[in-house]
A and B are shown apart, each in its own frame.
Chain A
Amino acid sequence: MEIQQTATPPSALQHHYSDIEQQHDSAKFGMWLFLVTEILFFGGLFCAYAIYRSWYPEMFHNAHKVLSVPMGALNTVVLIVSSLTMALSIRSVQLNKSKQALGYLIATFGFAAVFMVVKYFEYSHKFHVGQLPGKFYFYDGIAGANPHQFFSIYFAMTGLHGAHILIGMIVMIFIMIKLAKGAYSPQNYAYIENFGLYWHLVDMFWIFLFPLLYLIG
């Protein structure tokens, strides 16, 4: 114990862990538990999607055509690129290149912002023409029963996903500040790595949302 604590920077290892690896694994285990709850959190909405799609297949088919595939595809690519830069940012921290990591993280933040801007244009168009959830729906041009149901599900799923992107962007700002201060080292990078796990999971949700909502409705 005593040897360990002197061997690593005193700030990195908390006193209740026996070594830095145990500390790292504990943080990661906790993060994965949280990610499982996130899977189930989104899972309820995927379940709602499956039920309503099987109840109103033709309405879903007609409704999905009003979504813009180019915009959805653009957002998919943007998120995949942001996932790549996130992974590379963590890799740079592992190699003790904090400056490089900060650059990659800023890029990730930028792509997240692009995603939200594209989403904003999609949303504002839908608000304008009345493709809205539930009783707010006033669009006239989708054949089949209950088209407002499709947009309830669309806004719930993309809205929850967008909220995750926004929260991710806020957390990224804190990580940027810490990176700029050089707070992370190859011995101590669980925080940024766990954020990366979160970011990849949010990307993973979009990988499913894009075909389900935009492509096959």
Chain B
Amino acid sequence: MSTQNNKAHEEFHPHVLPISAYLGVFSALIFFTIITVVVAAIDLGPFNMVVAMLIAGTKALLVGLIFMHLLFDRKLYLMLFLVGMITLTIFIVITMFDTERRGDIFPEVGKPIKVESEHYQAPIEELRAKHGGHSEHGAEEGHGEAESHGDNAGTMDADDHGEEEHESAGIDTGHEKQNSSNGGH
């Protein structure tokens, strides 16, 4: 209603940016693209990820604020955009609390499933050799053995750097629901 009262006699004027603003953002985006390719070629260890995401975030911010007019439009749209981004961040972080820490408390929980699936036939032979060929059915192992097997499987998920043996065991991780109760004994 207020809109009607206040603007009854006003015309609608679009907010037009100068062409230099668009060209400036465009140049910055191209510049950042070159930077991110160059930096990725240098080995910074884990900081490669940080730098790449910072650059990508800056580029996305430029696109959002200028190309998508978030800076000049109603702040409602900016808020909506941020709500989407924050929801996504929460979603990813909480999911990774789970996937990164599986098997920390109950090793059985971190144990992979689908060990026998067709795609993993070759690596499975290695896995069997390593564990003394007893893992015919992962879910039906004796308790003592299951414990030690579970330990290995747990580390496979959480920190598998340099553990080629385990990695090549190559398994889709997930849970046996029944096993999680085993782990607590």
Chain A interface (Cβ < 8 Å from any Cβ of B): 1, 3-4, 7, 18-22, 24-25, 28-29, 32-33, 35-36, 39-40, 43, 46-47, 50-51, 54-59, 69, 73, 76-77, 80-81, 83-84, 86-88, 91, 94-95, 134-135, 144-146, 148-149, 186-187, 189, 196-197, 200-201, 203-204, 207-208, 210-212, 215-216
From known contacts A55-B99, A216-B52, infer whether A43 and B160 are also in contact, taking CB-CB under 8 Å: no
B19 touches A88 (CB 8 A): yes
From known contacts A94-B16, A148-B119, infer whether A215 and B22 are also in contact, taking CB-CB under 8 Å: no
Chain B interface (Cβ < 8 Å from any Cβ of A): 3-4, 7-17, 19, 22-23, 25-26, 29-30, 33, 36-37, 40, 48-49, 52-53, 55-56, 59-60, 63-64, 66-68, 73-74, 76-77, 80-81, 83-85, 87-88, 91-92, 95-96, 99-100, 118-119, 123, 157, 160-161, 167-173
B56 touches A207 (CB 8 A): yes
With both chains docked as a complex, state the minimum distance between the C-beta of A45 and any C-beta of chain B, in angstroms.
11
18 contacts between A and B (CB under 8 A): A4-B8, A18-B3, A36-B80, A46-B88, A50-B92, A50-B96, A51-B95, A55-B173, A69-B37, A73-B37, A87-B66, A144-B167, A196-B67, A196-B68, A200-B67, A203-B67, A210-B33, A211-B56
B167 touches A54 (CB 8 A): no
